[in-house]
Structure 1
Amino acid sequence: MRRLRITHLTEYRYSSPVTLGPHQLLLRPREGHDVHIESSRLDISPQPQIKWHRDMFDNSVAVAIFVDSSDRLSIESEVVIEHYEEAPLDFLVADYAVNYPFLYTPEERFDLLPYEQPVYPNDQPALREWVSGFGFGQGPIETYAMLDRMNRALAGGLTYIIREEPGVQSPDQTLASRRGSCRDYAALFIEACRHLGLASRFVSGYLHAPATEEGNAATHAWAEVYLPGPGWKGFDPTIGEVTGSRHIAVAVARHPETVPPVAGTFVGPRESPPPVLIVNVQVVAL
C-alpha cells in the first residue's frame, strides 16, 4: 500500500474586483477497491456555498457558489489517500478478447458504445495512417501487446511540452507537430483505440513522480481501455506505462475537454486584462 498526499492550489488574480459565477471543481480522487481517501480538505476564498454531487460518470463534483465580489479566487485542495494498486500487470483478459481483433459481447457493447465513438471524426484518415504503421491488420495479435506497443510508441515518438492554454489538441495536430501535453497524448491514444474498435475514455488526475514531490507541478491525464476480464485498464502514453499506484484518477469522461479540474465564470470591467492564473500541484509519498 502506498500513502500519498496531494495538494492542489489554483489561484486567479484579477485586476479589480469581479463577480464570480458558479465554479465546478473536480479535485476529489475516485475511490474504489484500489484507492481509499484517508482525509480531505477544501479551502476556498472568498468563502462560497459548496454543493456536492456525482455526475453521469460517477465523478465527485463540487459546485462553488459565490456571493461576495473579489479581486482574487483561491482554491486549495489537500487529500491524503491510500493506494493499493501495487501490481497493475496482474490481470487476465477474458479468453475471447486475449487476441485482437475481437468483439465485445452484446451486453458489453450496449453500455460501451459511447466510448467507441470518435470525438474527432475528421481525424480518422490521420489515425488510420498512424495505426497502419504497426501492422496490426496482418494477423491476430495479443490485445494487451498491441495496446502496450501503441502506448510506448507515443511515449518514445512525441516530444512532451507543457501547454498553458486550455483545451486539447486534435490527434491530427499532435501527429503533425509530433509534440503535445499529457492531455494531447491521451486524446490521441484514446482516438486510436476507438479507431480499432476498443472502448476508451479520458482520465484526469495526478501522477506521483520525483518532480511532483518538489511541487510546482500540474495535473496529469491518461487513458483507460475497457478489456473484458479486468475491465477499465489505464494506459499512460506520456510515459509509456500501465497505470498503477503512482496514478491517482480524479475524473473520467468520454470527451477529453469536459473534465478540467476547475471551471467557472466571472464578470468584470469590459477592458480589464485577463486574470493571472497560478497553479501548484504537489504529490508527496508519506
Structure 2
Amino acid sequence: MFNYTIKYTAENTYENPVFEAYWQYLVTPLTDDTQELISSEFNASASCVFEKSINGYDFETIRIRNKKAVDALNFEAVFKVIKAEVGPIEFDSSIKFEETYNALSDLSFTVDFEAYLYPTEFTQLKEEPFDLFMFEPSKNIIDNLKALNSWVHHYITFKSNETYQNTLLKDVVKNKAGDSPDFAHLFLAIARKNKLPGRFVTGYLHQGNNFFGDTQMHAWVEVYVPNSGWIGFDPSNNLFANHNHVKVAHGIDYKDCAPFKSFLFASGDKKIKHAVEVTYDQ
C-alpha cells in the first residue's frame, strides 16, 4: 500500500477588485477499488464561503464564494490517500479475439457505453484516425491499445503549457506537441474510432520518477475492454495507470474534468498559477 500526501495550490490575482465570484475546483481524489481518500483540508486567503457539491459524474467539487471584494484568492487543498498496487491486466486466453471484437458491435454494448464512444469537440480528428494509427486484427484488443499508447507517446512531444484549454486536436496533430490532455485526447480519438469506449481522466502523478506531467494535475485515459473492464493508459509516459496515478475524475474530454472554473463579476486582466506536490511512503 502507498500512503500519499497531495498538496494542490492555486494563486488567482486580478487587475481590478472582484466584487462577486464563484471559484470551482475539481481536485479531490475519489475513493474506488484501488484508492481511498482518508482526509481532505481546504484553506483560502480571502474571506470566503466553502461549499461541497457533487457534479453530474458523481465527483466532488469545491465551490468558493467571496464575501467581500478581493483582488486575489489563494487556495490550498491537502489530501491524504491510500493507494493500492494495480494488479496485472486480466485477459481470458480462452476467449477468441473475434469474440471480443464482435462484442464491440453488439447493440447493447453500444447503448451501455454510448457517452464514451463518439467524438467530441476535443477528440475530433480532421484526418481519418486510420491514416495515423491502425489496429492489427491479428492482435488482441489490449495489445493493440498498448501499441496505441506507445505510438501516441512517440508521436507527440511533451511540452508543458504548450497548448491551452481550447486547443483542438487538429492543431496538436499538426504541431506534434502538447501537454498531457492532448496525449489523452489523441488516444481517445483513435480508440473510439475503433469502437472502444474511452474516458478522459484527471488526477495526480507520483513525483520523483521523472514522469512527464508530474508538476501539475495530470491527464490519462481509461478504455473499456470486453471481459476485462476499464483499463488505464497514460500515453504521456507510455505506462499503464498504476499506483503512480491518483484519480480525481473522468468524463468524455477535458471539459468534463477541468480542475478549475471561475465565474466572475469583474473587469481587467487576471493571472492564475497552479502547483502540485505529491509525496508518499509505504
TM-score (norm 2): 0.89
Letter of the 1:175 counterpart: V
Per the TM alignment, residue 201 of structure 1 is displaced from its structure 2 partner at its CA by 0.7
The answer on whether the counterparts of 2:24 and 2:260 sit within 8 Å (CA) in structure 1 is: yes
Does the Cα contact within 8 Å between 1:92 and 1:230 map onto a contact in 2?
Answer: yes
- CA offsets per residue over residues 32-68 of structure 1, 9 Å max, x none? 1211112211112323323322222221122222222
Cα pair 2:205 2:214 within 8 Å, conserved = no
Between 1:104-113 and 1:187-196, the stretch displaced more is 104-113
CA contact (8 A) 1:212 1:283 kept: no
- Residues paired across the two proteins, number: 277
The CA deviation at 1:230 is: 3.3
> Quick one: structure 1 residues 129 and 31, their matched pair in 2 at CA, closer, same or farther if it must change by over 3 Å?
same
Partners of 1:230 and 1:204 lie apart in 2 by 22
How far apart, CA to CA, are the structure 2 residues paired with 1:77 and 1:212? 24
Residue in structure 1 matched with residue 152 of structure 2 by the alignment = 154
Question: 2:190 and 2:107 mapped to 1: Cα distance?
Answer: 22
Distance 1:9 1:275, change over 3 A: same
* Percent identity over paired residues: 21
Aligned partners of 1:171 and 1:187 also within 8 Å: yes
Which of these residues, 225, 246, 250, is aligned with residue 227 of structure 1?
225
Aligned to 1:170: 168
The answer for the alignment partner of 1:68 in structure 2 is: 68
Specify every segment of 5 or more residues in structure 1 that has no aligned partner in the other structure, as ranges: none
C-alpha separation in 1, matches of 2:222 and 2:169: 17
Is this contact kept in 1: 2:2–2:83, CA < 8 A? yes
RMSD of the alignment, in Å?
2.5
Q: In the alignment, which residue of structure 2 is the partner of 1:15?
A: 15
* 1:216–1:112 distance in 2 versus 1, CA, 3 Å: closer
- Counterpart CA distance in 2 for 1:118 and 1:55 is 22
**Alpha-carbon distance between aligned partners in 2 of 1:229 and 1:33, rounded to the nearest angstrom:** 18
* One of 187, 201, 221 as aligned partner of 2:185: 187
Give the Å deviation of 1:163: 1.4
**Offset at 1:18?**
1.2
Q: Match of 1:217, as an amino acid?
A: T
Measured after TM superposition, the shift of residue 95 of structure 1 is 6.1
**Aligned match of 1:116:** 117
1:101, CA displacement in angstroms? 3.1
TM-score normalised by L of structure 1: 0.87
Where in structure 2 are the equivalents of 1:255-274 lying within 5 Å?
255-269=253-267, 272=268, 274=269
* Aligned-residue offset at 1:209: 2.6
Q: Distance in 1 between matches of 2:158 and 2:108?
A: 38
Equivalent positions of 1:1-286 (< 5 A) are: 1-87=1-87, 89-92=88-91, 98=97, 101-104=101-104, 105-120=106-121, 123=125, 125-132=127-134, 136=135, 139-163=137-161, 166-210=164-208, 217-269=215-267, 272=268, 274-286=269-281
Shift of 1:108: 3.3
Give the deviation of 1:106 after TM superposition.
4.1
